[in-house]
Amino acid sequence: MRIEESISAIEACESYEELRTALQAIIENYGFAAFNFMDTGHPHLDMPFTDGTSGKGWEGDYQNNRFVHSDLWIASARRSNTPFSWGSLPLPAQLGVRKPGAIKLMEAAADHRWSEGLIIPFHFTDEIGRMYSSLVVLFWRDCLQRFMSMFTLKRHELHVIMIYWAQRATELKRRDFRPRSSTFGVNAGRLAAEPIVLSDKEREVLSWAARGKTTSGTADIMGISEATAETHMRNALRKLGAESRTHAVAIAIYRGLIDI
């Protein structure tokens, strides 16, 4: 399934349950077994809002052991805008008899046959400056060599898909429950605000970014300097209220400002 087909499947969903089912089908095409969405903006909570397809067994173990307080990957997601894997973070050393919580968490993951995970963070600011943070973890059960190949080739593509999915989830939740909420860490009211006007050059740099081109590659294609390409991208991020290039691409696709 190509990224265009994934986005079309997300866009066709008319309920959140359809959206969950669509996401499960999408991630299975990339080799993942399940997903979990988590609100990471409230570190004091013993169990923040979560939703996904990882199963009651894993969710129960995670909650009963209060793993949220020793989850290194949540802490890292709060500081990151880019996808990363479980294996990219070193586990703490066990200095005595007592195991660190992060090691226990990975042992529990192994008990549930999760061999790796891809974490995709989301950070959004609403129109009055409030910050929301959340993440999606995609669970892997296949061999690690296949995971590393997928991670190298497809993580940016999955990042765009997941941001787009979060935008659609917010829209459907807002429609169902009426109040303007940010359950999914995305401010839907902002997306429904006045039209965003991008220049032709701003749309073009976003379109090339959606196709995986770097700033340098985009500048070469457009016949402009790298600094000028960066300026167009920076202006597009500002107009879209985006936190990153990937976030800007997802919003632009969502608002129909660019095609891929």
pLDDT tens digits for range 134-186: 899 999 999 999 999 999 999 989 998 998 888 788 778 766 654 444 444 44
Residue 186: C-alpha distances to residues 5, 43, 111, 210, 213 (Å): 23, 18, 33, 20, 26
pLDDT tops 80 at residue 13: yes
CATH number for the domain whose boundaries are 3-177 = 3.30.450.80
Average pLDDT over every residue of 108-113: 96
Q: Kindly state the DSSP code that residue 196 receives in the 8-state scheme.
A: P
* End-to-end CA gap in the chain: 14
> What's the chain's average pLDDT?
85
pLDDT tens digits for range 210-250: 877 889 999 999 999 999 999 999 999 988 888 788 888 87
Query: Band of the pLDDT at 189, cuts 50, 70, 90?
Result: very low
Give the residue range(s) of CATH 3.30.450.80 domains in the chain: 3-177
Give the residue range(s) of CATH 1.10.10.10 domains in the chain: 194-254
Higher pLDDT, 220 or 131: 220
Going across the sheet that includes 131-140, the strands are: 50-52, 32-39, 131-140, 116-125, 84-85
The class level of CATH for 194-254 reads mainly alpha
Query: Band of the pLDDT at 72, cuts 50, 70, 90?
Result: very high
Residue listed under structure tokens 């800007």: 248
High-pLDDT (> 90) share of the chain, %: 50
Among 38-52, 103-117, 232-246, the minimum mean pLDDT is found in: 38-52
Look at residue 190 in the predicted model and tell me its pLDDT.
46
DSSP E strand stretches across 71-191: 84-85, 116-125, 131-140
Average pLDDT over every residue of 67-90: 90
